[in-house]
Protein backbone atom coordinates (compact mmCIF):
# COMPACT_ATOMS: atom_id res chain seq x y z
CA UNK A 1 0.00 0.00 0.00
CA UNK A 2 1.02 3.52 -0.71
CA UNK A 3 3.75 4.83 1.54
CA UNK A 4 2.37 8.37 1.30
CA UNK A 5 -1.16 7.35 2.30
CA UNK A 6 0.03 5.23 5.21
CA UNK A 7 2.26 8.04 6.43
CA UNK A 8 -0.60 10.47 6.08
CA UNK A 9 -2.78 8.23 8.23
CA UNK A 10 -0.05 8.05 10.88
CA UNK A 11 0.44 11.82 10.90
CA UNK A 12 -3.33 12.44 11.17
CA UNK A 13 -3.67 9.92 13.99
CA UNK A 14 -0.86 11.59 15.92
CA UNK A 15 -2.33 15.02 15.25
CA UNK A 16 -5.77 13.97 16.48
CA UNK A 17 -4.33 12.34 19.56
CA UNK A 18 -2.58 15.60 20.43
CA UNK A 19 -5.95 17.35 20.36
CA UNK A 20 -7.83 14.81 22.47
CA UNK A 21 -6.81 16.58 25.64
CA UNK A 22 -8.72 19.73 24.75
CA UNK A 23 -12.28 19.89 26.06
CA UNK A 24 -13.63 22.76 23.99
CA UNK A 25 -12.62 24.83 20.98
CA UNK A 26 -11.21 27.67 23.06
CA UNK A 27 -9.06 25.22 25.04
CA UNK A 28 -7.97 23.64 21.80
CA UNK A 29 -6.75 26.98 20.52
CA UNK A 30 -4.83 27.76 23.68
CA UNK A 31 -3.45 24.26 23.93
CA UNK A 32 -2.22 24.17 20.37
CA UNK A 33 -0.71 27.63 20.74
CA UNK A 34 1.19 26.54 23.84
CA UNK A 35 2.34 23.43 22.05
CA UNK A 36 3.59 25.44 19.11
CA UNK A 37 5.64 27.69 21.34
CA UNK A 38 6.96 24.68 23.25
CA UNK A 39 7.87 22.89 20.02
CA UNK A 40 9.62 25.94 18.70
CA UNK A 41 11.80 26.01 21.81
CA UNK A 42 12.58 22.32 21.42
CA UNK A 43 13.53 22.80 17.79
CA UNK A 44 15.84 25.68 18.76
CA UNK A 45 17.52 23.52 21.39
CA UNK A 46 17.93 20.69 18.88
CA UNK A 47 19.49 23.17 16.47
CA UNK A 48 22.08 24.08 19.09
CA UNK A 49 22.77 20.36 19.66
CA UNK A 50 23.19 19.79 15.94
CA UNK A 51 25.64 22.68 15.73
CA UNK A 52 27.66 21.22 18.61
CA UNK A 53 27.69 17.75 17.04
CA UNK A 54 28.78 19.28 13.76
CA UNK A 55 31.66 21.18 15.37
CA UNK A 56 32.80 18.04 17.12
CA UNK A 57 32.79 16.11 13.85
CA UNK A 58 34.78 18.87 12.19
CA UNK A 59 37.32 18.89 15.02
CA UNK A 60 37.74 15.14 14.82
CA UNK A 61 38.09 15.28 11.07
CA UNK A 62 40.86 17.84 11.35
CA UNK A 63 42.62 15.75 14.02
CA UNK A 64 42.42 12.71 11.78
CA UNK A 65 43.62 14.73 8.82
CA UNK A 66 46.61 16.04 10.78
CA UNK A 67 47.49 12.53 11.83
CA UNK A 68 47.15 11.21 8.28
CA UNK A 69 49.50 13.94 7.06
CA UNK A 70 51.97 13.10 9.81
CA UNK A 71 51.94 9.43 8.82
CA UNK A 72 52.46 10.42 5.20
CA UNK A 73 55.51 12.49 6.21
CA UNK A 74 56.79 9.66 8.35
CA UNK A 75 56.44 7.20 5.47
CA UNK A 76 58.50 9.54 3.30
CA UNK A 77 61.13 9.93 6.03
CA UNK A 78 61.28 6.16 6.54
CA UNK A 79 61.78 5.58 2.82
CA UNK A 80 64.54 8.19 2.88
CA UNK A 81 66.23 6.11 5.59
CA UNK A 82 65.75 2.98 3.54
CA UNK A 83 63.27 1.51 6.02
CA UNK A 84 60.62 0.25 3.64
CA UNK A 85 58.81 -1.86 6.23
CA UNK A 86 58.36 1.14 8.46
CA UNK A 87 57.11 3.20 5.52
CA UNK A 88 54.63 0.46 4.72
CA UNK A 89 53.43 0.40 8.32
CA UNK A 90 52.92 4.18 8.30
CA UNK A 91 50.98 4.05 5.03
CA UNK A 92 48.86 1.18 6.33
CA UNK A 93 47.85 3.23 9.37
CA UNK A 94 47.20 6.17 7.13
CA UNK A 95 44.76 4.03 5.11
CA UNK A 96 42.84 3.19 8.31
CA UNK A 97 42.57 6.88 9.10
CA UNK A 98 41.40 7.61 5.57
CA UNK A 99 38.51 5.18 6.07
CA UNK A 100 37.53 6.93 9.27
CA UNK A 101 37.72 10.25 7.50
CA UNK A 102 35.45 9.00 4.73
CA UNK A 103 32.83 7.93 7.18
CA UNK A 104 33.10 11.23 9.05
CA UNK A 105 32.48 12.97 5.73
CA UNK A 106 29.23 11.04 5.27
CA UNK A 107 28.18 11.89 8.80
CA UNK A 108 28.95 15.50 8.17
CA UNK A 109 26.64 15.54 5.16
CA UNK A 110 23.89 13.96 7.22
CA UNK A 111 24.23 16.46 10.00
CA UNK A 112 24.16 19.34 7.55
CA UNK A 113 20.88 17.99 6.25
CA UNK A 114 19.51 17.72 9.79
CA UNK A 115 20.55 21.27 10.46
CA UNK A 116 18.84 22.44 7.32
CA UNK A 117 15.60 20.59 8.08
CA UNK A 118 15.54 21.91 11.63
CA UNK A 119 16.17 25.45 10.43
CA UNK A 120 13.28 25.12 7.98
CA UNK A 121 11.12 23.71 10.76
CA UNK A 122 12.05 26.56 13.11
CA UNK A 123 11.29 29.22 10.50
CA UNK A 124 7.99 27.59 9.65
CA UNK A 125 6.98 27.20 13.29
CA UNK A 126 7.91 30.79 14.05
CA UNK A 127 5.75 32.04 11.16
CA UNK A 128 2.94 29.78 12.33
CA UNK A 129 3.16 30.92 15.94
CA UNK A 130 3.06 34.57 14.84
CA UNK A 131 0.08 34.04 12.56
CA UNK A 132 -1.77 31.89 15.06
CA UNK A 133 -1.33 34.27 17.99
CA UNK A 134 -3.67 36.85 16.46
CA UNK A 135 -5.93 34.37 14.74
CA UNK A 136 -6.74 32.44 17.89
CA UNK A 137 -8.01 35.53 19.70
CA UNK A 138 -10.26 36.43 16.76
CA UNK A 139 -11.57 32.88 16.60
CA UNK A 140 -12.13 32.69 20.35
CA UNK A 141 -14.04 35.97 20.34
CA UNK A 142 -16.54 34.49 17.90
CA UNK A 143 -16.46 30.82 18.67
CA UNK A 144 -20.10 30.58 19.70
CA UNK A 145 -21.12 30.92 16.10
CA UNK A 146 -21.29 27.50 14.46
CA UNK A 147 -19.31 28.69 11.49
CA UNK A 148 -16.55 29.91 13.76
CA UNK A 149 -16.49 26.53 15.49
CA UNK A 150 -15.89 24.89 12.16
CA UNK A 151 -13.05 27.32 11.43
CA UNK A 152 -11.58 26.62 14.81
CA UNK A 153 -11.71 22.94 14.05
CA UNK A 154 -9.97 23.46 10.72
CA UNK A 155 -7.37 25.81 12.10
CA UNK A 156 -6.58 23.50 14.97
CA UNK A 157 -6.37 20.40 12.74
CA UNK A 158 -4.05 22.20 10.36
CA UNK A 159 -1.86 23.45 13.18
CA UNK A 160 -1.88 20.09 14.85
CA UNK A 161 -0.71 18.40 11.67
CA UNK A 162 2.17 20.86 11.35
CA UNK A 163 3.02 20.34 15.00
CA UNK A 164 3.07 16.60 14.44
CA UNK A 165 5.44 17.06 11.51
CA UNK A 166 7.65 19.28 13.66
CA UNK A 167 7.58 16.68 16.43
CA UNK A 168 8.53 13.89 14.03
CA UNK A 169 11.32 16.00 12.54
CA UNK A 170 12.56 16.75 16.03
CA UNK A 171 12.53 13.05 16.99
CA UNK A 172 14.45 12.18 13.88
CA UNK A 173 17.02 14.90 14.49
CA UNK A 174 17.47 13.79 18.07
CA UNK A 175 18.03 10.19 16.98
CA UNK A 176 20.63 11.35 14.49
CA UNK A 177 22.33 13.55 17.06
CA UNK A 178 22.47 10.65 19.50
CA UNK A 179 23.98 8.41 16.80
CA UNK A 180 26.57 11.05 15.93
CA UNK A 181 27.46 11.60 19.56
CA UNK A 182 27.87 7.87 20.10
CA UNK A 183 30.08 7.64 17.05
CA UNK A 184 32.09 10.74 17.96
CA UNK A 185 32.54 9.25 21.43
CA UNK A 186 33.78 6.01 19.90
CA UNK A 187 36.29 7.90 17.75
CA UNK A 188 37.48 9.91 20.76
CA UNK A 189 37.97 6.66 22.60
CA UNK A 190 39.91 5.21 19.69
CA UNK A 191 42.06 8.32 19.57
CA UNK A 192 42.63 8.16 23.32
CA UNK A 193 43.47 4.49 23.59
CA UNK A 194 45.75 4.67 20.60
CA UNK A 195 43.84 2.09 18.60
CA UNK A 196 44.08 4.76 15.97
CA UNK A 197 47.75 5.31 16.57
CA UNK A 198 48.77 8.61 18.08
CA UNK A 199 46.13 10.64 16.38
CA UNK A 200 46.40 13.18 19.15
CA UNK A 201 50.17 13.21 19.03
CA UNK A 202 50.28 12.08 22.65
CA UNK A 203 51.85 9.02 24.12
CA UNK A 204 54.42 6.94 22.35
CA UNK A 205 54.64 7.20 18.62
CA UNK A 206 56.45 4.04 17.70
CA UNK A 207 57.00 4.98 14.06
CA UNK A 208 58.52 8.30 15.12
CA UNK A 209 60.67 6.53 17.71
CA UNK A 210 62.10 4.22 15.08
CA UNK A 211 62.71 7.09 12.70
CA UNK A 212 64.42 9.10 15.45
CA UNK A 213 66.53 6.14 16.52
CA UNK A 214 67.71 5.62 12.95
CA UNK A 215 68.49 9.25 12.41
CA UNK A 216 70.22 9.42 15.80
CA UNK A 217 72.35 6.41 14.92
CA UNK A 218 73.24 8.06 11.63
CA UNK A 219 74.20 11.23 13.44
CA UNK A 220 76.35 9.40 15.93
CA UNK A 221 78.10 7.59 13.09
CA UNK A 222 78.79 10.87 11.35
CA UNK A 223 80.10 12.46 14.53
CA UNK A 224 82.31 9.50 15.20
CA UNK A 225 83.75 9.68 11.75
CA UNK A 226 84.41 13.39 12.20
CA UNK A 227 86.07 12.82 15.55
CA UNK A 228 88.17 10.01 14.23
CA UNK A 229 89.42 12.29 11.53
CA UNK A 230 90.17 14.97 14.11
CA UNK A 231 91.92 13.07 16.86
CA UNK A 232 93.30 10.24 14.90
CA UNK A 233 92.71 6.52 15.36
CA UNK A 234 93.35 4.89 18.74
CA UNK A 235 92.58 7.86 20.97
CA UNK A 236 89.66 7.48 23.39
CA UNK A 237 86.61 9.41 22.35
CA UNK A 238 86.58 12.28 24.81
CA UNK A 239 83.65 14.61 25.21
CA UNK A 240 81.28 12.74 22.95
CA UNK A 241 77.57 13.09 23.57
CA UNK A 242 76.16 10.08 25.34
CA UNK A 243 75.02 7.51 22.83
CA UNK A 244 71.68 7.13 24.57
CA UNK A 245 70.95 10.85 24.85
CA UNK A 246 67.24 11.44 24.98
CA UNK A 247 67.04 14.23 22.44
CA UNK A 248 67.45 13.59 18.74
CA UNK A 249 69.47 16.81 18.70
CA UNK A 250 72.06 15.17 20.96
CA UNK A 251 74.78 16.35 18.62
CA UNK A 252 74.88 19.74 20.29
CA UNK A 253 77.76 21.00 22.44
CA UNK A 254 76.00 19.92 25.66
CA UNK A 255 78.05 16.79 25.87
CA UNK A 256 78.00 14.10 28.54
CA UNK A 257 80.92 13.55 30.83
CA UNK A 258 82.63 11.42 28.28
CA UNK A 259 82.68 8.29 30.48
CA UNK A 260 80.08 6.60 28.39
CA UNK A 261 81.30 7.76 25.05
CA UNK A 262 81.59 4.97 22.53
CA UNK A 263 85.19 3.88 22.08
CA UNK A 264 86.54 4.82 18.73
CA UNK B 1 -4.11 18.13 -3.73
CA UNK B 2 -1.93 18.92 -0.76
CA UNK B 3 1.20 16.87 -0.18
CA UNK B 4 3.38 17.28 2.90
CA UNK B 5 7.08 16.59 2.87
CA UNK B 6 8.01 15.87 6.49
CA UNK B 7 10.42 18.41 7.91
CA UNK B 8 9.77 20.77 5.05
CA UNK B 9 6.14 21.79 4.62
CA UNK B 10 3.07 21.38 2.42
CA UNK B 11 2.85 21.74 -1.34
CA UNK B 12 -0.25 22.28 -3.43
CA UNK B 13 -0.04 19.96 -6.42
CA UNK B 14 -2.20 19.96 -9.54
CA UNK B 15 -4.27 16.78 -9.88
CA UNK B 16 -2.57 16.16 -13.23
CA UNK B 17 0.64 15.33 -11.36
CA UNK B 18 -0.97 12.61 -9.32
CA UNK B 19 -0.04 9.74 -11.70
CA UNK B 20 3.67 10.65 -11.55
CA UNK B 21 3.57 10.87 -7.76
CA UNK B 22 1.69 7.60 -7.48
CA UNK B 23 4.14 5.86 -9.77
CA UNK B 24 7.04 6.98 -7.58
CA UNK B 25 5.11 5.94 -4.50
CA UNK B 26 4.65 2.44 -5.99
CA UNK B 27 8.40 2.26 -6.64
CA UNK B 28 9.01 3.25 -3.04
CA UNK B 29 6.78 0.41 -1.84
CA UNK B 30 8.63 -1.95 -4.14
CA UNK B 31 12.04 -0.84 -2.84
CA UNK B 32 10.78 -1.31 0.73
CA UNK B 33 9.52 -4.80 -0.07
CA UNK B 34 12.81 -5.75 -1.63
CA UNK B 35 14.87 -3.96 1.08
CA UNK B 36 16.70 -2.22 -1.74
CA UNK B 37 18.46 0.70 -0.03
CA UNK B 38 19.82 2.24 -3.21
CA UNK B 39 16.52 2.11 -5.10
CA UNK B 40 14.72 3.46 -2.05
CA UNK B 41 17.09 6.42 -1.66
CA UNK B 42 16.93 7.24 -5.37
CA UNK B 43 13.14 7.01 -5.56
CA UNK B 44 12.64 9.06 -2.40
CA UNK B 45 14.92 11.77 -3.80
CA UNK B 46 12.91 11.72 -7.06
CA UNK B 47 9.63 11.91 -5.17
CA UNK B 48 10.79 14.84 -3.02
CA UNK B 49 12.10 16.57 -6.15
CA UNK B 50 8.86 16.00 -8.05
CA UNK B 51 6.67 17.38 -5.26
CA UNK B 52 8.88 20.47 -4.94
CA UNK B 53 9.01 20.95 -8.68
CA UNK B 54 5.35 20.39 -9.51
CA UNK B 55 3.85 21.91 -6.36
CA UNK B 56 3.54 25.33 -4.81
CA UNK B 57 4.74 25.75 -1.23
CA UNK B 58 1.84 26.58 1.09
CA UNK B 59 2.53 29.41 3.58
CA UNK B 60 2.48 28.68 7.31
CA UNK B 61 -0.63 30.73 8.01
CA UNK B 62 -2.65 28.57 5.62
CA UNK B 63 -3.96 25.79 7.87
CA UNK B 64 -5.22 23.28 5.30
CA UNK B 65 -4.30 19.69 6.09
CA UNK B 66 -2.48 17.38 3.71
CA UNK B 67 -3.77 14.25 1.98
CA UNK B 68 -0.45 12.60 1.29
CA UNK B 69 2.77 12.64 3.32
CA UNK B 70 6.29 12.12 1.92
CA UNK B 71 9.03 10.98 4.35
CA UNK B 72 11.83 13.36 5.38
CA UNK B 73 14.33 14.03 2.64
CA UNK B 74 17.27 11.69 3.05
CA UNK B 75 15.37 9.17 5.18
CA UNK B 76 16.78 5.66 5.14
CA UNK B 77 14.73 2.59 4.35
CA UNK B 78 14.89 1.52 7.99
CA UNK B 79 13.75 4.90 9.24
CA UNK B 80 10.68 4.80 7.00
CA UNK B 81 9.98 1.22 7.96
CA UNK B 82 10.04 2.26 11.63
CA UNK B 83 7.72 5.19 10.91
CA UNK B 84 5.25 2.99 9.06
CA UNK B 85 5.33 0.48 11.89
CA UNK B 86 3.83 3.16 14.14
CA UNK B 87 0.64 2.88 12.14
CA UNK B 88 0.21 -0.86 12.39
> Is B69 within 8 Å of chain A by CB?
yes
Do B69 and A113 make contact, defined as CB atoms within 8 angstroms? no
pLDDT at residue A165, as a whole number: 86
pLDDT tens sequence across A14-49 = 888 877 766 676 777 787 788 888 888 988 988 888
Cα torsion A173, A178, A181, A183: sign: negative
Q: What is the pLDDT of residue A233?
A: 58
Q: Read off the pLDDT band of A206 (50, 70, 90).
A: confident
**Confidence (pLDDT) at A247:** 47
- Asked whether the beta carbons of residue B79 and residue A172 sit closer than 8 angstroms, the reply is yes
Higher-confidence residue: B47 or A126? B47
By CA distance, what is B21's nearest residue in A? A4
Question: Please, which contacts does A102-106 make with residues 24 or more away whose CB atoms are closer than 8 Å?
Answer: A104/A57, A104/A60, A104/A61, A104/A64, A104/A187, A105/A61
A215-252: pLDDT as tens digits = 888 888 888 888 888 887 555 555 555 554 444 444 44
Q: Round to whole Å and give the CA distance between A126 and B76.
A: 28
Q: Which of A55-59, A105-109, A127-131 has the weakest average pLDDT?
A: A127-131
Q: Chain B: residue nearest A118 by CA? A: B7
* B56/chain A closest Cα distance in angstroms: 15
pLDDT tier, A255 (very low <50, low <70, confident <90, very high otherwise): very low
Task: Read off the pLDDT of residues A132-184 as tens digits, 9 standing for 90 and up.
Answer: 888 778 777 766 666 666 777 777 788 888 888 888 888 888 888 888 778 77
The answer, for A169 touching chain B at a CB cutoff of 8 Å, is yes
| pLDDT value of residue B87 | 75
> Would you call A16 an interface residue with chain B, using a CB distance cutoff of 8 Å?
no
Residue A258 has pLDDT above 50, yes or no: no
pLDDT at A236: 53
**pLDDT tens-digit readout, A186-197:** 777 766 655 455
> Tell me, what DSSP letter sits at residue A36?
H
Considering only the beta carbons, identify the residue of B26, B60, B72 that sits closest to A117: B72
A172 touches chain B (CB under 8 A): yes
Distance from CA of B68 to the nearest CA of A (A): 5
Q: What is the largest CA-CA distance in chain A?
A: 117
A207 by Cβ neighbours in 10 Å (0-12 / 13-18 / 19+) ranks as buried
Task: Reply yes or no on whether the pLDDT at A75 is more than 50.
Answer: yes
> How far away is chain A from the Cα of B36, in angstroms, using its nearest Cα?
15
pLDDT at B55 over 90: yes
Q: From B60, which residue of chain A is nearest by alpha-carbon distance?
A: A128
Which pLDDT value is given to residue B10? 94
Verify whether the Cβ–Cβ distance B69 to A135 is below 8 Å.
Answer: no
Amino acid sequence: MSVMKRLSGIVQAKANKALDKAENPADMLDLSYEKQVENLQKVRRALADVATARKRLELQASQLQGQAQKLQDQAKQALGQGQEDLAREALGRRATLAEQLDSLGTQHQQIEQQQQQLETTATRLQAQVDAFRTRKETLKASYTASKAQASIGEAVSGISESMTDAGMTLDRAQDKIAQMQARAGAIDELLDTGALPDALGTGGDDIQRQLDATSRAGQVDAELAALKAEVGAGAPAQGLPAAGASSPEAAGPAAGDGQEGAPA
Amino acid sequence: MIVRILGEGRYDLPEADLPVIEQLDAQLVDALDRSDEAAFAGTLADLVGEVRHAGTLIPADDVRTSELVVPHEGSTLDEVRDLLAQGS
